[in-house]
């Protein structure tokens, strides 16, 4: 996403960048698998909430990108908006992993 503003002005870099952004959509499968792994006993709810989160992201991302464009930052500013949203999601992922490890450490037998 950070490469989009610069790549947007040259065809080959733009084509590569757009391909990489599209290919990253495959990470949704990894997210879904992780959710179903940690949501023991509530898999259906987890899957529904995951789909809801994707739908919210499909609305919020373009809205924030539109705000950036309308603020006069230019149409390539959506790359920075996408990067910020991606880093936010990655941060939540890291927090979930840390929480899982903390819970495993607390549940481990002591002695």
pLDDT above 70 for 110 = no
Q: What share of residues in the chain are helix, strand, coil (percent, to 5)?
A: 85, 0, 15
φ, ψ for residue 10, nearest 5 deg: -135, 135
Measure the CA–CA gap between 85 and 110, rounded to whole angstroms: 40
Q: Report pLDDT digits (tens) over 43-83.
A: 999 999 989 988 999 999 999 999 999 999 999 999 999 99
pTM of the model: 0.75
**Tell me: the pLDDT tens digits for 84-96?**
998 998 898 899 8
Averaged pLDDT, 36-42: 88
Q: CA 87, CA 28: separation in Å to the nearest integer?
A: 15
């Amino acid at each position: 996403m950070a490469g989009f503003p610069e790549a947007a002005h040259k065809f080959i870099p733009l084509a590569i960048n757009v391909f990489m952004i599209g290919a990253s959509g495959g990470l949704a499968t990894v997210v879904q698998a992780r959710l179903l792994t940690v949501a023991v006993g509530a898999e259906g709810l987890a899957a529904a909430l995951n789909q809801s989160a994707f739908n919210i992201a499909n609305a919020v991302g373009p809205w924030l990108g539109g705000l950036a464009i309308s603020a006069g930052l230019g149409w390539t500013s959506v790359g920075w908006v996408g990067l910020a949203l991606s880093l936010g999601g990655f941060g939540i992922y890291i927090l979930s992993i840390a929480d899982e490890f903390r819970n495993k450490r607390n549940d481990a037998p002591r002695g």
